[in-house]
Amino acid sequence: MTIKSVTLTNKEGLHGDHAMAVIQKSNEFDCAIWLEKDSRRINAKSLLGMLALDARKGDALTVITDGHNESEVLDSIAALLLSGSED
The CATH number of whichever domain residue 63 belongs to comes to 3.30.1340.10
- Spatial contact of 53 and 40, defined as CB atoms under 8 Å apart: yes
pLDDT tens figures, 13-67: 898 888 999 999 999 999 999 999 999 999 999 999 999 999 999 999 999 999 9
pTM of the predicted structure, to 2 decimals: 0.89
Range of the domain at 19: 2-83
Planar angle of CA 26, 27, 32, nearest 5 degrees: 65
> Is the distance from CB of 9 to CB of 78 less than 8 angstroms?
no
- Residue by residue, DSSP assigns the chain as -EEEEEE---TT-S-HHHHHHHHHHHTTSSEEEEEEETTEEEETT-HHHHHHH---TT-EEEEEEEETTHHHHHHHHHHHHHH-S--
Q: What is the count of structural domains for the chain? A: 1
